[in-house]
Structure 1
Amino acid sequence: MKKIFMYLILSFLLFSCNNDTETQTKTTNKYQTQNVVLLVVDGPRISETWEAPAKENIPNRVNLLSQGVFISNFKNNGTTNTNPGHSALCSGVYENIKNNGTELPGYPSVMQQWLKYSGADKNKAWVIASKDKLEVLNNCKQADWKDKFQPSVDCGVNGNGSGYREDAVTVTKTKEVMRNYSPNIIVINLKDVDSYGHANNWNEYIKAIKTTDASIKEIWEYIQSLPAYKDKTTLIVSNDHGRHLDAKGGFSEHGDDCEGCRHIEFFAMGPDFKKNTIISTGTYEQIDITSTIAELLGVPLQYAKGKVIKDAFK
């Protein structure tokens, strides 16, 4: 009788374990996306990108739209500066943190939370930025998360305080990291558009928008060339902020709540997203990107305030 009882208990435990494994597998395989690359183009106005008369400055994105989805009314509803904007994209919380790299975000990023949840090595999540001050994205002030589960970083010349570097260097670094480590999450910052805007150099500002557009195509094609990424990677292109409308001071600055500063880009391609689609409905915003990344990778988020961009999904 005792043997029969023990057999029944063992059978129940094995059945439970199998069910848990199946549930976990189903959760893991909910989407085809296994990797997410978030590419942040720093500070273009939408009037010079998707709303230019013939979209003449972003020909590569126009062609790539056949593989992806664009949201025409996407907004930054927080502080329209570099560090607060990037922090919102990564944590899903709007905060008015200092813009000079001396203040950590208040809440853990989706990278930190994914590293904890997955148990992966820090080389499986990266922040790669032309601006050194964005190194703060690998940490936060929240006591349970500070100095824990930090993604790898390659920012500026040589880390925070070392100065900015050209975007071409950042694109090269990104490809090296992909090739050497095959990270599942990468956040990239390209700063040249913002830098030439602040320099009040219209011609170079437009040139930088065009160069960045070419870099987006280059990175997408590189993704498709790597077995670890091909057909299982989502690329999201967005902005930390826009720039002032001409009536509010012009393209050389940003930082207020004018439509030029708030209206930003959402363009994405991946195996789980619609193709050849422009979405003009809904109230999607910057912090929704965090929730969408978490949804694709199956990460339970703490603190994030955004929603999943369901209209972008197939």
Structure 2
Amino acid sequence: MKLDLKSLVFGFFILSISLQAQENDKLIIITLDGLRWQELFGGADSLLLNKDRFVENRSGLKDDFWAETKAERREKLFPFVWNFIAENGVILGDRWEGNKVNLTNRMVFSYPGYNEILTGKADDDHINSNDKIYNPNKTILEIANFSNKYRRKVLAFGSWDVFPFILNEKRSEIPVNAGYRSSLSKNPSEKALFLDKIQQETPKRWGGVRFDVFTHNYAMEALKHEKPDVLYIAYGETDDFAHDGRYDEYLRSAHRTDKMIQDIWEFVNSDSYYKGKTSILITTDHGRGAGTGENDTWRGHGTSIKDADQVWIMALGNHIKSIGASRKNKQYFTSQFAPTLNEILKLDIEFEEKALPVLD
């Protein structure tokens, strides 16, 4: 039997790349658009929950989300966060405990927020609208996608159709399944093809934002079949239900997202490619107004809405400390999020800000 030396060398090369990919640290970034810190740390707000103008469907709402104390309410709304992440990870931003996280961009809406999260720096001169313009700044996802370690191992999924521009898919070469796009996989699974079908057949509530169930399940199929080393999932419903003034659906969506995060965590800890190698970092692009009762500033954000720059950050998994919800009087900023990702991925990017104190 004649050995083909070139084929043998190529085979060893492919095997070495595969083994390196298995050993790489894995990172999942999750964002929940416009989720307030008030609900994360205090659960359902009684002054909003009891206002008919903000609640159309009361069926089971109080049974599902109301309790006498903040601790009980937040656990009902976010059971995975408060029964697992609070025990095994880090949660920053409980302002009732003097622990603060703020944006540094002055726009206080989505595109500038996502740019800050993923680049580590506000850019109010260039990113000052939600228009579909390609981001002039390189995100950490783009830098990872062109690194030797993570080349073509980066994927992104989002509910909002602006993410291909935020991540500058043309320059970054990152596949971005966002808005109402179908599966981008070269070999889509049977479930991904079914998602394509039912997404087309499902009525659209918002023109540029699909329901998170599609974003989540496309991302889960990618985890199972394409094995990205760096995955970004951007859920969007909470922001749009809040803009609609639907506090009932805002709460239900937040609760569903908690379960989606649990699904991701349980999968990566059952899969040999990810188990023991995966960190998950979670945040939001902006806060919302603190208005209650007849004051509806909770629906909005931006420079005119007081306190809408108040946000939060969570982390769990490999390399993450198990300190729960921080009760230290500390000030952190969203611009520290990307430097923290950099520490995990070891990309040697220079940032002006230091990483968050969440890593072992």
Deviation for aligned residue 1:33 = 7.2
Q: What is the alpha-carbon distance in structure 1 between the residues aligned to residue 28 and residue 253 of structure 2?
A: 21
Deviation for aligned residue 1:291 = 0.7
Please point out which of 105, 129, 133 is paired with 1:103.
133
The answer to whether the 8 Å contact 1:40/1:188 transfers is yes
Deviation for aligned residue 1:163 = 2.9
Q: What stretches of structure 1 of length at least 5 have no aligned partner?
A: 1-27, 141-146
The answer to whether the 8 Å contact 2:118/2:140 transfers is yes
- For residues 267 and 110 of structure 1, do their structure 2 counterparts lie closer, same or farther at Cα, with a shift above 3 Å needed? same
Give the aligned residue type for 1:112.
Answer: E
Deviation for aligned residue 1:85 = 0.8
Deviation for aligned residue 1:257 = 7.0
Give TM-score scaled by structure 2 length: 0.70
Worse-matched range after superposition: 220-229 or 169-178: 220-229
- Which residue in 1 is equivalent to 2:144? 114
Does residue 83 of structure 1 match 2:111?
yes
- Which residue in 1 is equivalent to 2:312? 265
Q: What is the alpha-carbon distance in structure 1 between the residues aligned to residue 81 and residue 163 of structure 2?
A: 25
The answer to whether the 8 Å contact 2:24/2:229 transfers is no
* Aligned-CA RMSD value: 2.4
Please point out which of 83, 94, 100 is paired with 1:63.
83
Q: What is the alpha-carbon distance in structure 1 between the residues aligned to residue 30 and residue 285 of structure 2?
A: 10
Deviation for aligned residue 1:297 = 0.8
Q: Residues 241-274 of structure 1, C-alpha deviation per residue, up to 9 Å, x if partnerless? A: 1111117742111112756412212111022111
The answer to whether the 8 Å contact 1:171/1:219 transfers is no
- For residues 89 and 257 of structure 1, do their structure 2 counterparts lie closer, same or farther at Cα, with a shift above 3 Å needed? farther
SS across alignment from 1:284: strand
Give the aligned residue type for 2:78.
Answer: I
Q: What is the alpha-carbon distance in structure 1 between the residues aligned to residue 270 and residue 123 of structure 2?
A: 37
Deviation for aligned residue 1:183 = 1.2
Identity %, equivalent residues: 20
Please point out which of 111, 127, 133 is paired with 2:156.
127
- For residues 35 and 313 of structure 1, do their structure 2 counterparts lie closer, same or farther at Cα, with a shift above 3 Å needed? same
Worse-matched range after superposition: 71-80 or 246-255: 246-255
SS across alignment from 1:275: coil
The answer to whether the 8 Å contact 2:150/2:229 transfers is no
The answer to whether the 8 Å contact 1:289/1:306 transfers is no
- For residues 260 and 211 of structure 1, do their structure 2 counterparts lie closer, same or farther at Cα, with a shift above 3 Å needed? farther
- Which residue in 2 is equivalent to 1:13? none
Give the aligned residue type for 1:212.
Answer: T
SS across alignment from 2:234: strand
1:208-227 aligned within 5 A: 208-227=253-272
Give the aligned residue type for 1:306.
Answer: E
Give the aligned residue type for 2:176.
Answer: V
SS across alignment from 2:166: helix
- Which residue in 2 is equivalent to 1:178? 223
Give the aligned residue type for 2:148.
Answer: S
Give the aligned residue type for 1:38.
Answer: I
Deviation for aligned residue 1:278 = 2.6
Q: What is the alpha-carbon distance in structure 1 between the residues aligned to residue 24 and residue 83 of structure 2?
A: 22
- For residues 84 and 210 of structure 1, do their structure 2 counterparts lie closer, same or farther at Cα, with a shift above 3 Å needed? same
Q: What is the alpha-carbon distance in structure 2 between the residues aligned to residue 264 and residue 33 of structure 1?
A: 30
Deviation for aligned residue 1:88 = 0.9
Does residue 151 of structure 1 match 2:197?
no
